[in-house]
Structure 1
Amino acid sequence: MARPVLPTDRHRVHRIVFRLTPAEHACLSRQAQQLGHRANELARSLVLSSLERPEDEAPLDPALISELNYIGHNLNQITKRLHMTGRLSPTIPALCRRIEALIDEAIDKEAR
């Protein structure tokens, strides 16, 4: 079966080429790997998102997104262990409250 034909407004016909130093490329590749993307996909999304972002809005930090992802994975593992054993470490509720406080703080900063 042949690939479906894209509408003409979705054809990518223009090409932009730019060069990176080895250090820049390593940084881009590392961030792309952390986010589960290829380097060229990350570069394209960063360029397009910066074009659409209002000038006063700060960009999202890929390292922060990656760290939040790790926190989510850890919370899932804690939940799984709780369901398996029925026991919860006494430090977990305090950690959850701290995470909630950080989220609330970030939302408050965003609202300003």
Structure 2
Amino acid sequence: MARPTLTSDRHRVHRIVFRLTSSEYECLLEQALQLGHRVNELARMLVISSLEVGEDERTLDPAFVTGLNYIGHNLNQITKRMHMTGRLSPSLTALCERIEALIDEATAKEFN
């Protein structure tokens, strides 16, 4: 008896190739053996399961996003004024760098 034909949504036609270091492969192999799968099956399952999560579980604090939005509006107003007058405040670059540092710090805390 012939194998049943797969529906178009189950037919695998795309190939993704990536390389692993020896230590990465050994880790994946060990997990695959523990779960009773082949290495490529486990890699496929891990990728597909990460895609099926839907919404990202990691979310930023709404108050942080609101505050960041206000900062963005203020920077937009400063930029508009700078284009109108042709003058740039010397402290603006330092302020932007400080804002970037605060954003990096907040997202690092939020996502770790």
TM-score, normalised on structure 1?
Answer: 0.48
TM-score, normalised on structure 2?
Answer: 0.48
Higher relative contact order, chain-length normalized (CA < 8 Å, sep 6+) = 2
Larger radius of gyration: 2
